[in-house]
Structure 1
Amino acid sequence: MRFSLSLVTAAVFTALVTPVVAHAENAAAVTAIERITVQGDLRQQSAGQLAGSLSVATEQDLQRQSVQHLDELLNQFANVNFSAGASRGRFIQVRGIGERSEFVDTINPSVGMLIDGIDYSGLGITGISDIAQFEVFRGPEATRFGANALAGMLNLTTKGPTDTPEGKVTVTLADYDSYQLAGQFSNAITPQWGYSLALEQQVSDGFIKNTHLKRDDTNNIDEFNARFKLAFQPNSDLTLQLISHFVDQDNGYDAFSLDRNRTTLSDEPGQDKLRSKALALQTDYRGLPFARLQGQLSWLDAAMDYGFDEDWSHVGLHPDEYSTTDRYLRNREQLTLDYRLVSTDAGRLGDSDWVLGIYAASKEFELTRQFWNWSLWQADSFASALTRTNLAVYTELSTPVSDKLTLISGVRLERYEDDYADSSGNQIGNTDTMWGAKLSLNYQPNPQALIYLLGSRGYKVGGVNGDALAKAADDSLSELMSKASFAPETLYNAEFGVKGTALDQSLVTRVAAFYMWRKDMQVKGWLNPDSGPQFAGFIDNAGSGRNYGIEIENRLQLHPQLAVMLSASWLKTKLGNYITIDGDDFSGREQAQAPRFGYSVAADWYLSDAMTFNIGLQGKDAFYYSDGHEQRSSRYELLNLRLSYQLQHWQLAVWSRNALDKDIGVRGFYFGNDPRDGYAPHLYEQFAEPRRVGVSASYQF
């Protein structure tokens, strides 16, 4: 703790003195500062002016680590983790809070994801080659984002139309029979109309060898992604933008091995398919005398097919074997509206700026599960449907207290209604009204420094445990009747932060220290009776939880040819009063997916005007895989290397990810599944990619 306090003290000092030093060197450098506007903020301020722990990544950050997918990017950010359990990392944790999987029951994520303002929470995404900016919000963001931002939010903005022709084509070849083709082009049709188009295809055999089928592509990647934007500006007061997304993912899923390595024995490998379409209409109207009208109306339709070989083996492996599969067919359709008024100079309340917004959403979730019913000893199916409507109003007020002191206050009031029905005859309706808030005191000793105190409250909806209800009729699972539903969760956050930037951006430093209290925290529970490999999953409420720690981000230009980036985090978590349905007491233990420390160090070394060498080292402490067992991941270090050469419009690069070839666990289960050792319980892990080597070539025009 002394070390943590010393870091905060050093950051305060750095934030105060850095702008002064830079000013002495070159006061004119302020005109050359690159202003990064936070797209997810209500007022779209710069990252250095925004109270709260926030990270921003651009296209350059992707190139530095040769990133091709989101889960390869997340390791760069302090106190951010993810879990897979599918072909890709899909479930995000921020500051130790977030889901790890989704099976029968529809989850409301603790960390949501927006792509161009469209809600992709829980779906995951494919390639991000056309990224313009990626933002990670840490801590409750209910005022801005609502129930999907209990612990944070990921906000991704892709490239849009331009006034002049711009394009880029990228080809990447890598081991494991992998390739990526990506292209973007944007232009203006007339002075009022402009468009952009981005296409991407990723293919890989994956990193699993199936010795039974004698194949090395049972966990393959096959993803196509298309995004189109059409902008229209009929006059200086109005800008409209139509956004269209299409995703076609046909990935295999064969990730878990009885031998607990990258070699599987499955005779019926699974699949992880997604086909989604989305449309959005963005509006920006500046014709009102007192405010600016901004907002978006969006629609998304997604169909998913997720399934796996439950026994992870083949017929004939052992006399005590079993052979079953589990398959989940999901459909999701949503319509979302989010519009706000942002005050202009004429609309200020005295000296105060204000925001007033309304949010409405209608979401329909349908599930058909095909599985083996061990109680009936036959193939069976289960179907459920959930309709959820949300209506919210929110506001935020920025009030100057003095020349250097500003008070930011915000509140959001949200009501949701759920209608649930399933093939077991259950029909349940849930309704609740929740509220979130934020209050921050911002002190700016100079334009490049910010010191803030922040208090915020986030929320997450409750719901129905459909899997528990469906299986409660079985005598062996009668205790699940007490788990028919679960309560909403509330998160309180207190935070102190410091941000400082030199005028010439030779030094950027950001530090945040936080303490969070979770009330009625939602945890995943499982019951495994003696009637075969049948698990009943449900969401339970632990009494409370504590999460506190520190996040640090620094960028230092040590030399005109050398820049260093550093992010680090320290996290301490604690479960409240939590005893599982099996009677195991985990009260007071660390929470799942919450590594105690993590770090990322990267350097850009400009060897010449044309050649650049990038190196990145990332690491995480071990963490528990679940709140319901004691199994942990292994601590790891991840080394990424890249050497690139720029030749006019061309860029050529050779790279390696995970150059040390570490086995990095991204999902873990603990149970018995191997008949060869009498179904003794083991930790079974899914691993991220091993050492990768590839070459990339891009042409920009």
Structure 2
Amino acid sequence: MRTPILPTRILLLAGVAASVISTSAFAQQTDPEAEQDIAAQSPDVGDPPSSVGTGARDEDAIIVTARRRQETAQEVPLAISVVGGEHIDNTGAFNVGRLQQLTPTIQYTSSNPRNTTLQIRGIGAPFGLTNDGFDQGVGIYVDDIYYSRVASSTFDFLDVAQIEVLRGPQGTLYGKNTTAGAINITSRQPTFTFEGRAEASIGNLDFKQVKAAVSGPLSDTIAARFALSGTSRRGTIYNVANGSWVNEQDNLGFRGQLLYKPGGNLEVLLSGDYSRQNPECCGTVFVRTGATQRPLNRQYAALAAAQGYVTPSTNPFDRLTDVDAELSAGNKIGGVGLRVKWDVGPGTLTSVTAWRFWDWKPANDRDFTGLPITTLSQNPSQQNQYTQEFRYNYESRAFDFVLGAFGYTQTVRTQGTEQLGSAASRWLLNPGSSVPAGSAGCGPSASNQLACDPKVLAGTTAYNDIRLDNTSAALFGQFGWHVTDKLIIQPGFRVNYDKKEGLYERLVFDGQGNPVLFVNPVTGLPITDIRTAARRDNLTPQRIEPTFSDWNFSYDLNVNYKITPDVLVYATYAKSFKPGGINLNGVPNDAAGNPQTQVGAIRPESVNHYEVGVKSSFWNGLAIANLTAFRTDIADFQALVNSGAVSTTRGYLANAEKVRTQGVEAEFSIRPSDRFNAYASGAYTDAKYVKFTGAPCPPELSGGTAATAGQTSSAPGTPGGISPSSCDISGQVLPGVSKWSLSYGAEGNVQGRLFGQEGQFYLGVDGNYRSRFSSNPSPSAYTFIDGYALTNFRAGFRTDDGFNVFGWVRNAFDTHYFELLQVAPGSTGLIVGNPGDPRTYGLTIQKQF
């Protein structure tokens, strides 16, 4: 277990920053008008009435910037959920993974920060191992800056004012095209009055978290804000192999901002941030085995018995593992941004310039067991991205518009190493037909001794060189025609160019350092030695240089009508796209060892999206009810295909013919008085493959003899059976998507006194429910995750001057559930899992001043 940076150091830094800014605050005189302008820009009002959120200061309407201008959430004619900063803090939703529990239309799965899938309404990114060669369908924006790496969603939120979750295509208003939606995060901005906030939490599992922020003027025209956050927690899985707790939390983040406001028509914000994670992560636990079509002596039970291997527990919620390879999830993300807003004539010109980096330093146990099969698996990456966005906003009584231009460049460099260990030969190679059926042993009569000789695979090493150069440019805009005071017609457009150039090169060497090749470089003849062939089958040398480039035009049309001042109805059609991509994890080889370069690139997704909705408020604005119905049809859906081999490829991208997601979403919130508030959000999502005929097969149809022309595949789970080369999963569900999901919360309070202080005693509850969902790209009987409900409680005391202390219990009923199930490579039938957090509890103290 690594030693995290102590929270006391963080608090010391916060104190130094506070003293610097407060000294400047008292030394300078501030401009009241500037203060008023800044306050208007900074929606730091806790959690106003909305679809998501309960808290103390939910009093004013939420101001959002979803349409690149300030308006209330109920005025925006699209499906949007807003979560306020106070609710984020009080419910412990300190990253996007936790945000899933508050907004039921988000689906989030992660086996480690890089291999993270973020979806809205069941679409967004291929489910499974991440490939750098495709675009995310869900955009993450922080203060107008696009974060291209989904790994950023695993970090702690830093000094967040609110989060807007926009559902559906957003390409006509946002810099990077996103087909599934966008998560728009607004941080608290610098202020021209001195203010600060601090929060400290402790809990079981050695949980410690501190957050702090200070803000104030440095002069009449310059204000600054500095924020930090640190989280540490003991792991939730015990590794009996080395006596450590794995799957820790060890996060540290900083953000600094300088605001320059020389006059009423210009505002310049310079920001910089840095976050790092360094936990011992990410381990899995044994869940079950399932019958595949491999011979019985090649399935998990026989393979384990042959080497005397016994898993530390067959109950996954004993939370025991014995993975023997190094585990690491070192992750660093940061950057610098410059946002300039200038009121020019009747409109506002905005420029957002940013540079961001991402460094990923992983180590994994790819065989998921305590045997030395794959002893080294790591693919560290370094990314740099540059973005430039220009927008011009104009508003009048008759019409309004947003016109923008966006440029994006990204480079990713990955250096991978994979190595097989001393148990690899007996686990991965067929010991020969002379071995009795049902045995995984190497008996003395075995004619094929490959599997009995550890030197065949032991020490075989692959070195990966993976590169991506990605360029994107776009013009986009949306026009609003106010036909009447009640009726608005809003067409939008986007013209986009994308270019991707890649390299995937894998060099393989045997245990003695000799290159593993398909062709003899001297004679030019194929190498047929069975030992070399065995090494090639498990770590395949390959070099490809895939490329993709294309222009796309997309558009949308929104019509919205105010039936009454409190009831808005709208309808949207969007013709959108997701850029094509390239395969950067390798592609299958043909029989002669030549890479199948025709699958090196994948086609763009073509999206047709339909949505209707109604937004209403009633009871003098004390209650809100919103309802949305949607349907999204996607042709050439980008999906992950696995080869079925252990390490031949780590999964490659392909196009499914057609996918459809449709459903209904409802949101309700109420605040009848200052003493009580509540909310509920629910979603019904029906997401499926309409047509996918070349899909990867689930484990129960994998591992057997490959079917030839005219042969019929064996029944699922038939040992030694005939397996199809691919499967038709048309009509089956998309992975990661629950048909039913629900989030809810309520809080009540009474006036009282504590230690002589006037304030409120309060009790709050929040929870969420997800119905059964698939945890494999192709649905399998072995990888469905049962539905579960999580319930959290909090109780505390707060004062009007910003003091708050409360105790909390999360997953109060200690529900056993999985966040993810994974199929171990090689069609052995082993299923491993990532169990969700057990019951946790603790105490939080907050102070605002």
Same fold (TM over 0.5): yes
Tell me, in whole angstroms, the C-alpha distance in 1 between the residues paired with 2:114 and 2:682: 25
CA deviation digits over 1:582-606, x for unaligned, max 9?
3222011111111101001210111
Match of 2:678 in 1: 564
Task: Name which of structure 1's ranges 187-196 and 554-563 shifts more when overlaid on structure 2.
Answer: 554-563
- Aligned pair in 2 of structure 1 residues 662, 269: CA closer, same or farther (>3 Å)? farther
SS at match of 1:301: strand
Tell me, in whole angstroms, the C-alpha distance in 1 between the residues paired with 2:140 and 2:658: 25
Tell me, in whole angstroms, the C-alpha distance in 1 between the residues paired with 2:843 and 2:554: 47
Tell me, in whole angstroms, the C-alpha distance in 1 between the residues paired with 2:824 and 2:121: 27
SS at match of 1:593: coil
Tell me, in whole angstroms, the C-alpha distance in 2 between the residues paired with 1:536 and 1:301: 25
Tell me, in whole angstroms, the C-alpha distance in 1 between the residues paired with 2:80 and 2:564: 20
Match of 1:662 in 2: 815
- Aligned pair in 2 of structure 1 residues 610, 188: CA closer, same or farther (>3 Å)? same
SS at match of 1:124: helix
Q: Which of 344, 357, 360 is the aligned partner of 1:304?
A: 360
Match of 1:264 in 2: 321
Match of 2:403 in 1: 356
Tell me, in whole angstroms, the C-alpha distance in 2 between the residues paired with 1:252 and 1:543: 40
CA deviation after TM superposition for structure 1 residue 92, in Å? 1.2
Tell me, in whole angstroms, the C-alpha distance in 2 between the residues paired with 1:72 and 1:244: 24
Q: Which of 337, 351, 355 is the aligned partner of 1:280?
A: 337
Match of 1:436 in 2: 554
Q: Which of 133, 140, 144 is the aligned partner of 1:106?
A: 133
Question: 2:689, 2:731 within 8 Å by CA — same for their partners in 1?
Answer: yes
Task: Name which of structure 1's ranges 643-652 and 515-524 shifts more when overlaid on structure 2.
Answer: 643-652
SS at match of 1:78: coil
Correspondence list, 1:399-478, <5 A: 399-423=481-505, 424-469=542-587, 472=589, 475=592
- Aligned pair in 2 of structure 1 residues 193, 163: CA closer, same or farther (>3 Å)? same
CA deviation digits over 1:404-429, x for unaligned, max 9?
11101111111011122233543333
Question: 1:395, 1:412 within 8 Å by CA — same for their partners in 2?
Answer: yes
Pairwise CA RMSD of aligned residues? 2.3
TM-score when normalising by structure 2: 0.73
Match of 1:646 in 2: 798
Task: Tell me, yes or no, if structure 1 residue 395 matches structure 2 residue 543.
Answer: no
Tell me, in whole angstroms, the C-alpha distance in 1 between the residues paired with 2:324 and 2:59: 58
**Runs of at least 5 residues in structure 1 that lack an aligned partner in the other structure:** 1-31, 316-320, 674-678
CA deviation after TM superposition for structure 1 residue 181, in Å? 1.3
Tell me, in whole angstroms, the C-alpha distance in 2 between the residues paired with 1:212 and 1:536: 26
Q: Which of 508, 516, 538 is the aligned partner of 2:652?
A: 538
Match of 1:142 in 2: 171
Match of 2:839 in 1: 691
Tell me, in whole angstroms, the C-alpha distance in 2 between the residues paired with 1:671 and 1:698: 44
User: Letter of the aligned partner of 2:270 in structure 1?
Assistant: L
CA deviation digits over 1:324-370, x for unaligned, max 9?
2211111110110111111144xx8xx22122111111111111111
- Aligned pair in 2 of structure 1 residues 60, 142: CA closer, same or farther (>3 Å)? same
**Identical pairs, percent:** 20
Tell me, in whole angstroms, the C-alpha distance in 2 between the residues paired with 1:584 and 1:305: 35
Match of 1:512 in 2: 628
Question: 2:223, 2:258 within 8 Å by CA — same for their partners in 1?
Answer: yes
SS at match of 1:212: coil
Task: Tell me, yes or no, if structure 1 residue 202 matches structure 2 residue 319.
Answer: no
Match of 1:576 in 2: 690
Question: 2:283, 2:323 within 8 Å by CA — same for their partners in 1?
Answer: no
Structure having the larger proportion of residues in strand: 1
- Aligned pair in 2 of structure 1 residues 166, 474: CA closer, same or farther (>3 Å)? farther
Task: Tell me, yes or no, if structure 1 residue 329 matches structure 2 residue 380.
Answer: yes
CA deviation digits over 1:520-549, x for unaligned, max 9?
1111110123xx555531111111111110
User: Letter of the aligned partner of 2:256 in structure 1?
Assistant: F
- Aligned pair in 2 of structure 1 residues 426, 535: CA closer, same or farther (>3 Å)? closer
Correspondence list, 1:611-626, <5 A: 611-626=761-776
**Runs of at least 5 residues in structure 2 that lack an aligned partner in the other structure:** 1-57, 287-313, 429-455, 506-541, 697-724, 752-758
Match of 1:247 in 2: 275
Tell me, in whole angstroms, the C-alpha distance in 1 between the residues paired with 2:797 and 2:551: 56
Tell me, in whole angstroms, the C-alpha distance in 1 between the residues paired with 2:462 and 2:502: 21
Question: 1:112, 1:152 within 8 Å by CA — same for their partners in 2?
Answer: yes
CA deviation after TM superposition for structure 1 residue 78, in Å? 2.9
SS at match of 2:211: strand
Question: 2:602, 2:653 within 8 Å by CA — same for their partners in 1?
Answer: yes
CA deviation after TM superposition for structure 1 residue 552, in Å? 0.7
Task: Tell me, yes or no, if structure 1 residue 339 matches structure 2 residue 390.
Answer: yes
- Aligned pair in 2 of structure 1 residues 343, 129: CA closer, same or farther (>3 Å)? closer
SS at match of 2:107: strand
Question: 2:667, 2:682 within 8 Å by CA — same for their partners in 1?
Answer: yes
Task: Tell me, yes or no, if structure 1 residue 365 matches structure 2 residue 433.
Answer: no
CA deviation after TM superposition for structure 1 residue 474, in Å? 7.2
Question: 1:520, 1:543 within 8 Å by CA — same for their partners in 2?
Answer: yes
CA deviation after TM superposition for structure 1 residue 561, in Å? 1.8
CA deviation after TM superposition for structure 1 residue 482, in Å? 4.6
Question: 2:129, 2:651 within 8 Å by CA — same for their partners in 1?
Answer: no
- Aligned pair in 2 of structure 1 residues 104, 565: CA closer, same or farther (>3 Å)? closer
Correspondence list, 1:110-121, <5 A: 110-121=137-148
CA deviation digits over 1:666-690, x for unaligned, max 9?
22222467xxxxx741432212211
Q: Which of 476, 480, 493 is the aligned partner of 2:609?
A: 493
Tell me, in whole angstroms, the C-alpha distance in 1 between the residues paired with 2:271 and 2:478: 27
Question: Based on CA coordinates, which of the two structures has the bigger radius of gyration?
Answer: 2
Task: Name which of structure 1's ranges 90-99 and 615-624 shifts more when overlaid on structure 2.
Answer: 90-99
Tell me, in whole angstroms, the C-alpha distance in 2 between the residues paired with 1:33 and 1:369: 52
Task: Tell me, yes or no, if structure 1 residue 94 matches structure 2 residue 120.
Answer: yes
Tell me, in whole angstroms, the C-alpha distance in 1 between the residues paired with 2:619 and 2:190: 30
CA deviation after TM superposition for structure 1 residue 254, in Å? 3.1
- Aligned pair in 2 of structure 1 residues 54, 103: CA closer, same or farther (>3 Å)? closer
CA deviation after TM superposition for structure 1 residue 154, in Å? 0.7
How many positions carry a matched residue from both structures? 650
Tell me, in whole angstroms, the C-alpha distance in 2 between the residues paired with 1:627 and 1:303: 27
Tell me, in whole angstroms, the C-alpha distance in 2 between the residues paired with 1:396 and 1:503: 33
